[in-house]
Structure 1
Amino acid sequence: MGNSGLKQHLETAKKTGVLKISQGKLTEFPSNFKQLEPLLRTLDISENKFVTLPSDINSFKLLKHLNVSQNRLISLPESLGHLSKLESLSACSNKITYIPQTLSQLVHLKQVYLSDNLISDFPVVFCGLKHLDVLDVSRNKISKIPDRVCELQVTELNLNQNQIASVSDKIADCPRLKTLRLEENCLQLSAIHSRILTDSKISILALDGNLFDKKHLADVEGYDKYMERYTAVKKKLF
């Protein structure tokens, strides 16, 4: 992106609080981004060539929406945890392996999209965030869902296309979880604990592409209770 084009984006951002520079071949923040620190609410730098984000990204104190998808990031900076107003974070299609613990401080987060990365551990850092509605960590390398999942407050959890072979029965204790996507993992039927069907609020359980025939789910205790929830949701849609 040429200097004239970047300048125009910056002038627009000063008026709107929104800066979108996608497909710009950027590898680092231009120095004139600094002038937007007291103004910016939305920053979209997706589809660039960032390998790292600057540690002083926390200077954008008003930032609510951050999109860094489709870059070359191998990590997220610890300083992201100081963006206290952040509501949505999208970092899909990078090479991220680790989620910093500081993100547990982002109490206003509502949506987190981390699909198509290299994350191997379930991101318990997001457990306990009371306003988080959607967590998408599909297409990663997660192999199990731990007990701490019960602290997750989301209504939708997307774990499609991971390597999950083990699911803690405590996922049934998630207070708001209604949609659980586990398609194309490594699950045996025995990994689907009956509590998930009987005791949870899950009304959409997506299990296609695992190591069992989906029709055999009907043999698991509690399947009828799950189908009652599923049918009730479908009726509301029509």
Structure 2
Amino acid sequence: MNIHHLQQLHNHQPMTMKMDSMRKRERNKGMEKERLQVMDLSGMSLDSLPKPALDLATICKLDLSNNNLQDIPESLTARLLNMEVLDVRSNQLKSLPNSIGCLSKLKVLNVSGNFIESLPKTIENCRALEELNANFNKLSKLPDTIGFELINLKKLSVNSNKLVFLPSSTSHLTSLKVLDARLNCLRSLPEDLENLINLETLNVSQNFQYLETLPYSIGLLLSLVELDVSYNKIKTLPESIGCLKNLKKLSVEGNPLVCPSMEVVEQGLHVVMEFMQHKMNSSGERPAKKRWWMMKMVKCGTFNKQVRGGKRPEHEGYNMLKHQKINGLASPGFMGMLSPLRFFSSPRHSFG
């Protein structure tokens, strides 16, 4: 073998070793994935959990739905280290174990159709969680700081409970796309909704005699496609709804609406939007609260301020900003400082 061939072999060897190393890592990942198990114990009329034949750390999905379970042992969830999906819907559960916070890889949690009155605060440690379904329970409140840690949550379903309010931290769920809080006892929504930059569907219908107003910040949900506020006690929609340029569906039936009138509503969404925009852009005198809100919107650049004859007419030349997503922010507190919409926040709802 001549020197030229030896040199070629020497140059080729590091690349071959690198490729072998990559293949080995891929094989290991594949073997680890195959090692993980799905355990289905649904619909077996279980009153308690049998001793599992599998190593709990190998379970990635556990389906315990449609049984008669009254509790989940703390020791069980503490050992489900690779759990990604936990389904315990339609049982007799009154609470969840605090060790639920050990499920650092959990992406989907379904606890619907139980008798749960509150979620453990430790659920905030499930930072990989993308979907939380707690429909049809007896929840009267959510953990106060739930929105500060569940930064990957995309869908929050808490319909058919007894919720009186949503915690202010809800507005920090920046990945949230769907919020379903219908059929509760909601008296209000958080005033500072501006950080829900990805929210596409908001359903707060059927809170009946409790929900009478919507916050002005609803006009800053620039990704919103569907808004359902039907069957409440709302008399006036916020003018800011005229800012929702991506809105495709607005449900307001079953409310004692005065503004806009039902005659306007019956003409379709585009007429409602034009009505709200016109009302927002009108130069008539506004209550102090509305003037304050409009000034914040101007500071955020939501409106183009046109100058004519050296004077600035009030909010003339309505124009929406292009919405840009904000990715990779380390903490909700820091995120709130960076958001250009932070001016909208009220001191009463600020968090240190």
Pick from 193, 208, 211: which aligns with 2:238? Answer: 193
1:177 counterpart = 2:221: no
- Normalising to structure 1: TM-score of the pair? 0.82
**1:11 Cα offset (Å):** 4.4
1:56-111 CA-to-partner distances (Å, cap 9, x unmatched) read 11112211100000100000000000011111000000010111023221111010
Number of aligned residue pairs: 222
Q: Hey, what does 2:150 align to over in structure 1?
A: 106
Change (3 A) 1:203 1:82: same
1:143-202 CA-to-partner distances (Å, cap 9, x unmatched) read 2234212332311111010131111222101232221110111111xx2123212x2233
**1:16 Cα offset (Å):** 5.7
**1:214 Cα offset (Å):** 3.1
SS at match of 2:76: helix
SS at match of 2:233: coil
Higher relative contact order (CA 8 A, sep 6+): 1
**Superposed structure 1 runs of 4+ greater than 6 Å apart:** none
Conserved 8 A contact 2:47-2:70: no
- Normalising to structure 2: TM-score of the pair? 0.57
1:94 counterpart = 2:137: yes
Question: Bigger CA drift: 205-214 or 216-225?
Answer: 216-225
SS at match of 2:62: strand
Q: Hey, what does 1:144 align to over in structure 2?
A: 188
- For 1:177, the aligned partner's letter is L
Change (3 A) 1:35 1:58: closer
**1:14 Cα offset (Å):** 6.5
Conserved 8 A contact 1:155-1:176: yes
Q: Hey, what does 1:77 align to over in structure 2?
A: 120
- For 1:125, the aligned partner's letter is S
Larger gyration radius, structure 1 or structure 2: 2
C-alpha distance in 2, partners of 1:35/1:103? 20
Q: Hey, what does 1:165 align to over in structure 2?
A: 212
Q: Hey, what does 2:168 align to over in structure 1?
A: 124
1:222 counterpart = 2:274: yes
SS at match of 1:126: helix
Identical residues among aligned pairs (%):
26
Conserved 8 A contact 1:194-1:222: no
Question: Bigger CA drift: 90-99 or 27-36?
Answer: 27-36
Q: Hey, what does 2:20 align to over in structure 1?
A: none
SS at match of 2:113: coil
C-alpha distance in 2, partners of 1:145/1:38? 36
C-alpha distance in 2, partners of 1:32/1:86? 21
1:204 counterpart = 2:249: yes
SS at match of 1:145: coil
1:58 counterpart = 2:101: yes
Structure 2, unmatched stretches of 5+, are 1-44, 279-352
1:47 counterpart = 2:90: yes
SS at match of 1:177: coil
**1:5 Cα offset (Å):** 8.2
